[in-house]
Chains A and B, each alone.
Chain A
Amino acid sequence: MGSNAVHRKMSRSPATALAAAFLFLFACRTAAAQMEITGSWAARNHEFLSGDGLPVDFTGIPLNEEGRIRALSYSESQLAMVERQCQGWPAFYIVQGPFGLKIWSETDPLKGNVISYIIGAWEDRAPLTIWMDGRPRPSKYAEHTRAGFTTGSWEGNTLVAYTTHMKAGFLRKTGAPSSDEAAMTTRFYRHGDILTVLAIIEDPIYLAEPWILSRSFQLSAAPLSPIGPPCITTYEGSIGQTAPHYVPEKNPFVDEMTTKYGVPRDAAIGKPETLYPEYRRKILPVAPVR
């Protein structure tokens, strides 16, 4: 059947033409419902998310009792241990670290659909690959890595990613722990040249409730590097026979947030109730220093 025959046949069938138009419009709508998120997104750092100025700053993290004990037992001298040198830069670090995001996509050469988005590495944080091709999640017994395993899908204009299979590490570099059962849902909202990333972190071992944080980036004309120096372990003076730590009740830095900034101890050690406005009722007024 030649093209003319096809044309004649379609011309004779309004329903067929309508169906074709419907499919065309639907395809356009599907494409329009997604947003371009690739590019170089510069950090602006107008929020202090890393919270790593003092050893015991777990403010804003809803730690449960086990998480708090583990956090207070942490000593930064553990960074001298080869097996612990890279634990401070998990996948969560994309919304905490001071760096921008370089995002690019891999596309199917025949179909043109996006197979994955990749958020490039930067300064010890491993690259994060968001698989968009519908591949199944690996077994819970599969290898856990620092970047974990991430799948993604579009909800309207929002890219939604879900990360599991991360190695146990830190929620915050100062020792607030994350377990290998932690999961992160990341939502990418683009508004013009602003990209806001909302991260919802769940950890049944160390968190009393999901930890929700967000960070905004600005589109940059100057390209960011797609690669960063990886975290490479090396001998730094510890032979690893013991893990430097503190007895949690005797952590010598537990009151530094209080003496330096007037932050109550309960907030500094990440008690969940301190995340909510009503906690202010419990705070004794701290006179501003003139």
Chain B
Amino acid sequence: MFANPFKLKKLGILGMNKRNIQYIGGENDRKYYPLVDNKLKTKVVAENADIAVPKLLATIERQSQLRKLQDILAPYDKFVIKPAQGSAGKGILVIVKREGDTFFKPNGQRLELRDIHRDISNILSGLYSLGGKPDVAMIEELVEFDPIFERYSYEGVPDIRVIIYKGYPAMAMLRCSTKESDGKANLHQGAVGVGIDMASGKALFAVQHDDPVIKHPDTGYDFSELEIPHWEKMLTLSASCYEVTHLGYLGVDIVLDKNLGPLILELNARPGLAIQIANRTGALKRFDMIDKRSDNADITERVTFSMNHFGAQ
């Protein structure tokens, strides 16, 4: 029932306490947190640094602005509404289709304008933000995700999580939503995590609820055929977030748009540990190798190093 802790240590598996003390506490300066915890700030900083992000359509900051909601939404048929300070994908509303004042979620559920009104009102009153602080709602362009992932996702956008340690891409996984996860890409809600080979972008292993799986539970496609396009570009994009955020231990979430290519969806100053299970590899060995490198390598050097040293072979 229990794994031998010494074996885990030998495999270099990072535990929650060590992550909190050494990596989050040691590498991430608290003063840079607001930049990643507030998606609106992240977006502004990323745009200034020419990092590709989904386009911001509008922001709603006060309840009084909700009276004009119909005007604000008028030009858009599909969009995403999210809380600027939400965590773990909470409070995100995706609209894929519109017929007059009726809106449709990806699973076909119909929403009236007043339903959207209520969701935004909840966001503004701080229902989804840490500690219930009043929040801001962002309306973003819907990412038209690349059909290459269609087979591996149920009613949701699969995203790629890359762990960036001191600017080096250290580990990556693809997160595929399932029926169980309700279209969300959160592993603890039942999404499938697929470990990705750092050298090639090919799938390594897949896990659901921390247990290995071979096929997607809803679509039935074998994960071993999966290969992520634009792999090097993706790693470069995610590694460039280090310069912007100054966070040594950073999780970067990327989506692949059909027309625009890889886009940064979200940054995370406290990335979780499940990525190790999806890769069947401990993160500590890679972190230790990165620790031995000099601090002033540029982005290309760092990506090349990671692709050469953290590949599956």
Q: Do A and B bind each other?
A: no
Residues of A within 8 A of B (CB): none
Interface residues of B (CB under 8 A from A): none
